[in-house]
């Protein structure tokens, strides 16, 4: 009886954790969709007003821009355009990896197609590190600052907990991503084996209607 109560309690706790995590992911998605995109749209509307070529620029009445101010505005436009481009290229990879890997760490059941997609995302992100190492670091920190993704700090915490060392992005990020691929592959194999076990158990249970001993072994 105590075991049944404990099992029910554990099931309730797991269900509550899943409910809270699903709510968090949904809220974060809505935050990106309605808040961050609105901010980006507002930023783009301002950036469009900055000309690519100042030679053809005609200032409004009463507006006087020095060469220094023009250069500063051009630098801002270039930087913000670059950040938005990076974000659009990698945000799906990063957020999907983060969500699925958190589920894998909790040994939760994951869809096989979802695991395969995340492995592809990890491989693609890892390949991009060769030419975009510091740019991706800048992007990860920017996403964390804007409360879009905590992937950078997830990797840092993983490194601290499992490797017992401080996370050094430049030397550790590729190794950790490769480790993530191995762990997700193991989870994929585990899910396949578990589904096979449940299927076999269901198929043979009809031949063993009663337990052969008091412990319940068939």
Is residue 21 classed exposed, middle or buried when 0-12, 13-18 and 19+ CB atoms within 10 A define those classes?
middle
- Residue 7 forms part of a structural domain: yes
* SS (HEC) of 132-184: HHHHHHHHHHHHHHCCCCCHHHHHHHHHHHHCCCCCCHHHHHHHHHHHHHHHH
28-62 b/e (C-beta count within 10 Å ≥ 16 → b): beeebeeebeeebeeeeeeeeebeeeeeeeeeeee
- Residue 218 forms part of a structural domain: no
For 33-58, what is each residue's pLDDT tens digit? Answer: 888 888 888 888 888 888 888 887 88
- Residue 11 forms part of a structural domain: yes
117 shares a domain with 29? no
Number of domains comprising the chain: 2
Entry pTM? 0.73
pLDDT greater at residue 16 or residue 6: 16
* pLDDT score for 213: 61
102 shares a domain with 29? no
Confidence of residue 2 (pLDDT cuts 50, 70, 90): very low
- Determine the Cα–Cα distance for residues 204 and 209; give it in Å rounded to an integer: 10
- Determine the Cα–Cα distance for residues 84 and 87; give it in Å rounded to an integer: 5
Q: Which domain holds residue 180?
A: 92-205
* pLDDT score for 81: 85
106 shares a domain with 194? yes
- Residue 213 forms part of a structural domain: no
For 109-123, what is each residue's pLDDT tens digit? Answer: 778 888 889 999 999
* pLDDT score for 210: 62
For 143-163, what is each residue's pLDDT tens digit? Answer: 999 888 999 999 999 999 999
* pLDDT score for 167: 94
For 92-101, what is each residue's pLDDT tens digit? Answer: 889 889 988 8
- Residue 167 forms part of a structural domain: yes
- Residue 87 forms part of a structural domain: no
The pLDDT mean for the chain works out to 83
- Residue 78 forms part of a structural domain: no
As a whole number, mean pLDDT of residues 193-212 equals 77
pLDDT at 5 over 90: no
């Amino acid at each position: 009886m105590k075991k049944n109560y404990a099992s029910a309690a554990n099931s309730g706790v797991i269900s509550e954790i899943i409910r809270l995590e699903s709510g968090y992911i949904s809220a974060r998605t809505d935050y990106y969709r309605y808040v961050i995109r609105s901010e980006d749209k507002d930023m783009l509307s301002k950036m469009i007003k900055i000309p690519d070529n100042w030679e053809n620029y005609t200032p409004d009445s009463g507006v006087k821009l020095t060469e220094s101010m023009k250069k500063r505005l051009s630098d801002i436009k270039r930087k913000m355009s670059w950040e938005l481009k990076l974000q659009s290229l990698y945000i799906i990879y990063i957020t999907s990896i983060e969500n699925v890997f958190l589920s894998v760490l909790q040994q939760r059941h994951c869809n096989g197609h979802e695991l395969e997609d995340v492995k592809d995302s990890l491989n693609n992100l890892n390949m991009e590190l060769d030419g975009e190492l510091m740019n991706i670091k800048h992007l990860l920190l920017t996403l964390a600052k804007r409360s879009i993704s905590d992937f950078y700090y997830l990797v840092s915490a993983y490194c601290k907990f499992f490797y017992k060392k401080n996370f050094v992005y430049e030397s550790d990020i590729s190794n950790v991503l490769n480790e993530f691929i191995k762990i997700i592959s193991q989870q994929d194999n585990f899910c396949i084996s578990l589904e096979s076990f449940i299927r076999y158990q269901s198929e043979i249970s009809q031949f063993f209607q009663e337990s052969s001993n008091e412990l319940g072994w068939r």
